[in-house]
Amino acid sequence: MKPFRLLLLPHLVFRKIASQIDLLALSLCSKKSRLAVKLSGIKPIRLSKQHISTSHSVILEFDHYWILWLLKIRKAVADVEKTFSTEFKIGEQIFKTRFNGNHDVLTSLCTDYYSAADQIVEYLKNTFNCELTRYIVSREGYPEYRQLITQTINNSKNCELVFGESGQKVNAEDIDFLFNNLKTDKMLRVSRRICENYQLQNPLTFPSFYVYDAPWFRPEDLFSANCEHLTILHAPKLKPSHINLYLKQWINGEHLRILFLRIETMWLYSVLPERNQQLFDGIQLKPFDMRREKKNQRSLIYLVISSEIINLGIFIEMMELLDPLL
């Protein structure tokens, strides 16, 4: 039987088939297959580069799956020829590679994490007609992170910075640098705990701000924030009375920029009527209507009860608060 010539299929048929297979592996087969993938117009949702102490990688995300391209230093790997038997040429560099059980995760050897990741990113950008939109870094994984922020991230469009890593606290010096030097049109996600006695010097003005563990976050930080999306997890200084006042101010036309608010704190673990009374005292509650919710995306605020994975959705429209769970 003659081999099936996938690349000779009409463009629309090829695009449909290609979207169901591993596009990266297909693009690496040959120059023709790479061109076919590029011309298919299939684009990823996001392209990310990660440099933390435990992992250096490039991540390509599509609608229904993602591809993780891991990097390891060549001299740290034993028996290279046996375990890394596949070779890919990207630019002028040969990447000895192995697939980790499936084609969604692959590992390549390199002599320098940062230049290798840059080469892979350029290959993916040119192949999939996309841009690098997310950087995941920590002080331990990217010692020159300050230069990365001021010279690269600040000059990128639609960019998100994820800072920190598991098991490592973010110190005040690092977070001050982020707040003072990262341009306020960037999205910032602090994925680890900032020191407990930290204090914000200026209001948060990033379009999207996420902090994983925020014992330092004060009520005045919430009221002064000027973000579209704001997520504050584990914030013990925020009490029901603070949320109640914030909601009342929002209903009355303040905090106009906020589209999404998510707060997790210990007092939300309770489902007692007293908690709801404190949260919604003086606020009129009406039955939740999903059709009205879809009409007004601005008017959606979430309070999350994390211990029970309950979303307490609050929908505000025309000065009214609509609660689906009460």
Lowest mean pLDDT among 79-93, 130-144, 283-297: 283-297
pTM of the model: 0.82
In terms of Cβ atoms closer than 10 Å to its own Cβ (0-12, 13-18, 19+), residue 303 is buried
Say if 132 falls within a structural domain. no
Say if 276 falls within a structural domain. yes
Say if 289 falls within a structural domain. yes
Say if 301 falls within a structural domain. yes
Picking from 204, 165, 166, the residue whose alpha carbon sits closest to that of residue 182 is 204
Residue carrying structure tokens 């990741």: 117
Tokens linked to 208: 């999207």
Instruction: Give the model confidence (pLDDT) of 226-235 as tens digits.
Output: 999 999 988 8
Instruction: Give the model confidence (pLDDT) of 147-200 as tens digits.
Output: 999 999 999 988 999 999 987 889 999 999 999 999 999 999 998 888 888 999
Q: Got the DSSP string for 77-114?
A: -SSHHHH--EEEEETTEEEEEEE-SSTTEEEEEES-HH
Of 224 and 302, more confident: 224
Say if 322 falls within a structural domain. yes
pLDDT at 132 over 90: yes
Distance CA 274, CA 267 (A): 11
pLDDT at 308 over 60: no
Residue carrying structure tokens 């209001």: 203
Say if 134 falls within a structural domain. no
Tokens linked to 25: 């592996």
Classified as helix, coil or strand, 325 is: coil
> In the chain, at which residue ranges do the beta strands (DSSP E only) sit?
46-52, 55-61, 66-73, 86-90, 93-99, 105-110, 132-137, 160-163, 187-190, 208-211, 229-233, 260-264, 285-286, 300-305, 310-317, 320-322
Domain that holds residue 245: 239-326
Q: In the 3-class helix/strand/coil scheme, how is 34-55 assigned residue by residue?
A: HHHHHHHCCCCCEEEEEEECCE
CB crowding 153-178: b at 16 or more within 10 Å, else e: beebeebbbbbbbeebebeeebbeeb
- Domains contained in the chain, number: 1
Say if 204 falls within a structural domain. no
Q: For residue 226, give Cα distances in angstroms to 1, 20, 122, 206, 319.
A: 65, 41, 34, 7, 20
Instruction: Give the model confidence (pLDDT) of 11-43 as tens digits.
Output: 444 455 555 567 888 888 888 888 888 888 888
pLDDT band, very low/low/confident/very high, at 103 (cuts 50, 70, 90): low
Determine phi and psi for 119, rounding to 5 degrees. -65, -45
pLDDT at 78 over 50: yes
Tokens linked to 146: 């300050």
Of 310 and 91, more confident: 91
pLDDT at 8 over 70: no
Say if 66 falls within a structural domain. no
| Per-residue model confidence (pLDDT) at position 293 | 53
